[in-house]
Structure 1
Amino acid sequence: MNFKKLDIEDRDIFQKFLGQYEFGTYEYSFLTLYFWRKMLNVEYALIDDALIVKKYEEQKGSYFMQPIGYKEESLMKIIEKLRQIKASDASFKNLFRDIELPFLYKLMDLYKDDVCFCEDINNFDYIYNASDLITLKGKKFHRKRNHYNQFVGNYSYEIKDISEPGVINDCIDFAQYWYENRQEDDIQLEYELEGIKEVLPKYQFFGIQCMAVYVGGKIVGFTVGEKINKDMAIIHVEKGDFNYNGVYAFINKTFAEKYLSDVKYINRQEDLGHKGLRKAKMSYNPVKLERKFIVDIKGHSTLHGDIPLSKTNTYN
């Protein structure tokens, strides 16, 4: 089976299979896959009229995402072909990652007790009510309101859309500045910077919303989002200058208010197990955490200590 490296001209193929985007996580967005394609070595193939996405990471090895656009009667045949590929390729550690709960149930219906799975807790998506991020009402958002008001009260700011002259270059320059002044050494940030440089000039092609914030004519932050369907938007990038108190609270609220007020939910992605990021994401009071699973089928499993399945979205 020949897999093709993902490139920009493949968008139409993916959009055909993704349709109205019925996934609960941000993983299956074409923009997500394209943005991170180099870090994750994203490839795809068509198998029995289904779109199959394969990734490779050094620590996780190769793995498949769940098949996209498959016919129910073909699912087991597709999975058996994927198992054969895994069996013949030593780079695979697990058969599936980025698996959402409904597809896990389908696998359990097909393979019963032969399904081995565990929650990929560091990769749960944080889902927020858009109205909460816009209004910041109530005691639980008291600190966020204070941070937002600090920025509004202390700085003479200006908001610009990505379509305005010079904003794309300003955002890219700021991302470079942010990267060079980061506190941690993380290879993922290098790929993120490369992704920003690639997708912002093509914002119309990707359907990106982007807002930049200026103080005294100088850019101090920007954010990039995508309305993935009528109910959900994804925040792909958010950068701010910590020298300006409250800048992140301002960006978060203002972008939701001006660009995302017509969606119900905002997906702000995962925390990757970073304690600081987890604390920051929890501080905005998510309404749920969209679970993802690592899955194998017995005979080719590397999972141990599988946990019982629960139908509730919980987080410990």
Structure 2
Amino acid sequence: MRWEFKQITAEDVEILPRFFNLRSNKTCDSVFLDSFLWKDYYHVEYCVCDDKAVEWKMTVKNEQFAAIPLCKEEDLPYYFFDTKKYFNEVLGQKLAIYLADEEAVRILDLDPSEFSVTEQVDAADYLYDGESMRTLAGKKYHKKKNHVNGFRKEYEGRYEYRTLCCSDRNDMWKFLDRWRSMKGTQLEGTLDPEVEGIHSILNHCSDLGVRMGGVYVDGQMEAFTMGSYNQVEDMAIIHIEKANPDIRGLYAFINQQFLVHEFPDVTLVNREDDVGLPGLRKAKQSYNPIGFVKKFQIREL
């Protein structure tokens, strides 16, 4: 058969990353780790086509849909319509694509009589200046710097930032269990699948090239974060950031220190979207984003 889709696994880190680097893309979906994190929730499957592209298929609540193919810019129209052909002829349904990046939409320039293209407003990623996020210099970051300094002062001699590795996974698991209990009934929607995705990353972290950092207070982990690097855009993508909300300034502290230690030179930082949650939106806006990465839904009419 022309299309042979398979479920994404940790071993695919040997196959897929080179395809992510074939064209410019500033979304959080532009690196392997994001697909791996959500592989179980979205039932992510992929197909390598002609050794030139990767086509996608996902399934949630009995709905099958795709993502924009990974390929060179000049090949995108061909593999987009090849994906459409698979959905039409094999699955017997019209094509639906979620989280299409703005550049892909521009390249495809789809006929509005054949496709609807709708912006997914709550899915836009927040972009930040790397140096500003590391230094927190200037009036715009005065409050954030105060939060960081407040944490340092209150916990002086009691805290430690550590670059984490696979051997620290037990500390992360224990903290994650505590964090889930703190959230209680708030843990709805995609948060529970996110926790499952974190466990999957930790089970395979030696294979995935994930960058991780944690903050310990009185010898106990109270925050950790995970990120990956988009070399085409010289951009850090912060996939996961969890901290004890009862410790004032801890989120601001780990946010800064993770970039200082794990991404000391990156130009851009992508902190993903706010999924339309007011609290998360306020937190992300408080870091003075320099721009947003728009995403779109494409549907065959």
Does the C-alpha gap of structure 1 residues 288 and 75 become closer, same or farther in structure 2, counting only changes over 3 Å? closer
Question: CA 1:261–1:277 in 2, change beyond 3 Å: closer, same or farther?
Answer: same
- In the alignment, what sits opposite 1:168? 169
Q: Structure 2 CA distance, aligned partners of 1:107 and 1:71?
A: 9
CA distance in 2 between counterparts of 1:197 and 1:119 reads 32
Q: 1: distance between equivalents of 2:78 and 2:126? A: 33
Question: What displacement does 1:90 show?
Answer: 7.2
Deviations 1:2-44 (A, max 9, x none): 3211112222221232236631101131111111100011011
Shift of residue 113 of structure 1? 5.5
Q: Equivalent residues in 2 for 1:252-291 (5 A)?
A: 252-291=255-294
Within 2, Cα distance between the matches of 1:36 and 1:44? 13
Check 1:172–1:91 CA distance in 2 against 1; reply closer, same or farther (3 A cut): farther
Counterparts in 2 of 1:197 and 1:21: CA distance versus 1, 3 Å: farther
1:58 positional shift: 2.5
TM-score, normalization by structure 1? 0.85
Contact 2:88 2:95 in 1 (8 A): no
For residues 44-82 of structure 1, the C-alpha deviation after alignment (integer angstroms, 9 at most, x for no partner) is 1134542101222238x322211112573x554433332
Deviations, residues 74-132 of structure 1 (Å, cap 9, x unaligned): 55443333223333577967522221122111221x64754421111111011111111
Paired amino acid for 1:193: V
Q: Sequence identity of aligned pairs in percent?
A: 31
AA paired with 2:172? Answer: C
| Residues 45-84 of structure 1 mapped to structure 2, 5 A cutoff | 45-48=47-50, 49-58=52-61, 61-70=63-72, 72=74, 75-84=76-85
Question: Do structure 1's residue 233 and structure 2's residue 241 form an aligned pair?
Answer: no
- Structure 1: segments with no counterpart, 5+ residues: 302-316
| Aligned 1:291-306 pairs, distance under 5 A | 291-296=294-299, 300-301=300-301
Deviation at 1:276, TM superposition (A): 0.8
2:217 aligned to which of 215, 225, 241: 215
What is the root-mean-square deviation of aligned Cα atoms in Å? Answer: 2.4
Give the Cα separation in 2 of the matches to 1:198 and 1:130: 28
Q: Structure 1 residues 97 and 70 mapped into 2: Cα distance closer, same or farther (>3 Å)?
A: same
Determine the structure 2 residue equivalent to 1:250: 253
Structure 1 contact 176–193 (Cα < 8 Å) conserved: no
**Counterparts of 1:228 and 1:75, CA distance in 2:** 20
In the alignment, is residue 119 of structure 1 matched against residue 119 of structure 2?
yes
Please say if residues 163 and 262 of structure 2, whose CA atoms lie closer than 8 Å, have aligned partners that are also in contact: no
Contact 1:63–1:92 (8 Å) recurs in 2:
no
Question: 2: CA distance between counterparts of 1:12 and 1:279?
Answer: 38
Given that 1:62 and 1:91 are in contact with CA atoms closer than 8 Å, whether structure 2 keeps it comes out as: no
In the TM superposition, residue 277 of structure 1 has moved relative to its aligned partner by 0.6
TM-score by length of 2: 0.89
Find 2:200's aligned residue among 198, 222, 227.
198
Distance (whole Å) between structure 1 residues aligned to residue 121 and residue 179 of structure 2: 28
